[in-house]
Amino acid sequence: MRKALFFIALMLTVFSASAQDKKAEALKEVRALYAKALDNIKERDSECSECIDKITIKNEQMLGGTGKHEKTTTFYFDQNWDDGSGNGLRIEPKFFRVSYNYAARTYLEEYLYEDGKLVFAFIKENDYPAVETRVYIKNGITILDKRVTADTQTHPFNMLQVNSSNEDVQKAVNNAKNLSNILKSVTTSY
């Protein structure tokens, strides 16, 4: 009986370690993709003639009681013509960045794609408490990392409750889909 329990405990430990290794590898791959995407954006923004395409949409409003509201959405993408399938122009998203403010609050969202599929989402909400959500999706593994970035001197971290759930993952995926649809709409209209 003891040998059987020991064997079961050993197998659980091995499987747990294997799952952790897969998660660590997925995180490493996504972080490398993110660094490469930022390098490509920096290169593109320095007037590279053969780099990824870019569209920026800026919306500004003056609203009573809260002042100026500004939202900037930047799409980085590749355009490829028919690959033999007869589909015409193919738009492949690479990276989206959305920054906006409402009154004194600022927000930032970033979405990273690989081969047209979402692999990373970052959502930073500077409400109180300020919360950062990161969603990594790679090789069938989804990792959710949600953390509070509030001032721990005046508001101790252990007093702030942050609930991570599948709703956070779904929100990030839905935001990314909506942005992809906007990109397709904008690129097919010119």
Low-confidence ranges of the chain (pLDDT < 70): 1-19, 47-51, 81-88, 128, 149-165, 187-190
> How far is CA 143 from its chain centroid?
12
What pLDDT score does 156 carry? 40
What pLDDT score does 138 carry? 84
Structural domain range at position 11: 2-188
Q: How many distinct structural domains can be found in the chain?
A: 1
What pLDDT score does 98 carry? 92
What pLDDT score does 130 carry? 80
What pLDDT score does 189 carry? 55
What pLDDT score does 155 carry? 42
